Structure 1
């Protein structure tokens, strides 16, 4: 059976690498001292995780996992009265969307590896899900939902 926590850890690490910013799972990411980091950052929400392939001989060696990544902009550090903006939120989302980037030379697979021990992600999808704005908090977000198709034993 494909463990959801391993899939989450792999996607979290990939998003942090692609954006160069911290990623929190269901909560604001924390720094080394355990304090919340200021935006920009990404919030990763696990959604569906389906391990049944609907066959009589299902051994639960495949799974489909869905996640919502919320790319959060914020005030610029050290600049009083600055606000997070659409440009910053879209920049983060553009970086995060590289999860589904393919090699430019047309070779098979994905440009950026998704590392999940003992699991291969053979298909990835990204669906734009809009965004939100919180003018009072000076935060604007962009949202992408990722769907990962996984198989065990690779």
Structure 2
């Protein structure tokens, strides 16, 4: 499972011209799911995201987490994060989990963030979405459960 974290001052996602999710200060999280992922991995990654220190403290050091700042999280499913880009000029999506497997894991990730009292907004799983954001910093990190 991969989570691309972008620290934002605001972010929103639209489907068919309608805003379906929006946050102010916090994290825009693009979530990519692979066939080897499961609910335990989804929950652990959500816990890591909630506690990941990428917000500045009073000394301008990245010492504060999303939980610490009581920021929002906008979670957007993005199967392209799981693409195999190791050869050729076109990505292969065979390394992405099929929707029937990915959607429940996406929901488990969101549910765990909410259990951790994070204010969560979401995109619409499987929809064609337009995402707008103001990246703060810019600060962007990729967390990959296969590399930990």
| TM-score, reference length from structure 1 | 0.28
Q: Which has the higher contact order (CA 8 A, sep 6+)?
A: 2
More helix by share: 2
| TM-score, reference length from structure 2 | 0.29
More strand by share: 2
